[in-house]
Amino acid sequence: MEPYDEEQLLRNLDALLDLADPVPADLVERVKFAIEIEDIDVEAARWERSQLAGVRGDSPGTITFYVGDLTVMFNVTRTGESHRIDGWLVPAGEHGVEVRVAEHGSTTTTSDEGGRFVLTEVPRGITQILVRMNGGTPRTVVTPTVVL
């Protein structure tokens, strides 16, 4: 065979890129869902990814997301066809918590003074969590979607 020249290498890489490292099939839909929110001035939180590795399987456990000084930890328990979410917010306080699930609308609650919140009957699926922080300057924190 002929040795690779630069143009040929690039053509081969072009053919290979989408085969070897395809954009996940549902990613565009997940992005559209994630940005389909009423709040515009949002801070994007980050998932603690090492914990998420196990979440995509059958046994959700405790997972964490954070941005700036806010950390939110929650425990997911399967209850029949849905989930129960027990969460803790730091810094503690009465903040709005909204859980959006694709094709299932959203569930909202408010954390108590200690930063605890509970949501029951949360449908399973592509999930995004929003925290609306009161006190000082109001802030809205949103997570990337995750499949729960």
Partner 1 sequence: MGELGTTSTGVPWDGLQGTERHAACLTAARAGNSAALDVLVAELTPLVWHVARGRGLDRGTAEDVVQTVWLSLLKHLDRLEQPRALVGWLITTTRRESHRTWQRRTDHVEFTPDVVEQVPSIEPQPEAVALREERDRQLWAAFGQLSQRCQELLRLTVLAGRAEYRSVAEALHMPHGSIGPTRGRCLTSLRALLDEDGGAR
Residues 6+ positions from 26 with CB-CB distance below 8 Å? 126
Does the footprint of partner 1 cover residue 1 (CB under 8 A)? yes
CB 73 within 8 A of CB 92: no
Q: How far apart are CA 147 and CA 133, in angstroms?
A: 24
Note the helical H segments in 21-138: 27-35, 49-52
Assess 54 for contact with partner 1 (CB under 8 A): no
Residues 4-23 that bind partner 1 (CB under 8 A): 4, 6-7, 9-10, 12-14, 16-17, 19-23
Q: Nearest distance from residue 92's CB to partner 1, in Å?
A: 24
Structure tokens at 107: 């569930």
If one asks whether residue 27 binds partner 1 (CB under 8 A), the answer comes out as yes
- C-alpha span between 66 and 143 (Å, rounded): 9
- Answer for which of 93, 96, 125, 144 binds partner 1 (CB under 8 A) is 144
| Binding footprint of partner 1 on the chain (CB under 8 A) | 1-4, 6-7, 9-10, 12-14, 16-17, 19-24, 27-28, 30-32, 34-37, 40-42, 44, 46-47, 49, 52-53, 142, 144-145
